[in-house]
Amino acid sequence: MRLRPADPAEEPRALVRQQLVKALGETGDSGVTDVLMFTLHNDEDPLVRVVAARALAEIGDPSSGDGLVLALREEDHSWVVAAVAGALGTVGAAPDLGIPRAIEVLRSRFHALSEAKQRKVRLRLRESHQ
């Protein structure tokens, strides 16, 4: 009997899904990229989506770049956006795929913020570089 990896989409508890996604990322196997990408785009829990983005970064499969850019465009939760941007920085090895597209998306998201939120982002960026 051959065991198949557990599918995070079949587990009702968010904490268990987080652990499943983390374990899939730790395999380093690019064969689980599709499952992780599905989880990133579809899981209802933002922390599970954060773990999925980090797992994709850990695997480092450049083919996940397009899906990460799409997640960056569509995601509303700030923690997930940060994790996806970090994953793109790792996965986006192809210069035409990762970093420039991530910067473009982040720039457009930044300009869509209110002036007060833009000031808050600038302040946090300055604080993080001190």
3 domain-assigned = no
Q: Read off the pTM.
A: 0.72
Cβ-count burial 89-120 (b if 16+ within 10 Å, e if not): ebbbeeeebbbebbeebbeeeeeeeeeeeeee
51 domain-assigned = yes
Per-residue confidence (pLDDT) for residue 3, from 0 to 100: 38
Q: How many domains does the chain have?
A: 1
1 domain-assigned = no
| Per-residue DSSP letter, 94 | S
88 domain-assigned = yes
Residue-number span of the structural domain to which 119 is assigned = 8-128
Per-residue confidence (pLDDT) for residue 1, from 0 to 100: 37
CATH code where residue 36 lies: 1.25.10.10
How far apart are alpha carbons 62 and 57 in whole angstroms?
9
Asked whether the predicted pLDDT for residue 96 surpasses 60, the reply is: no
* Confidence band of 35 (pLDDT split at 50, 70, 90): very high
**Mean pLDDT, the chain, as a whole number?**
81
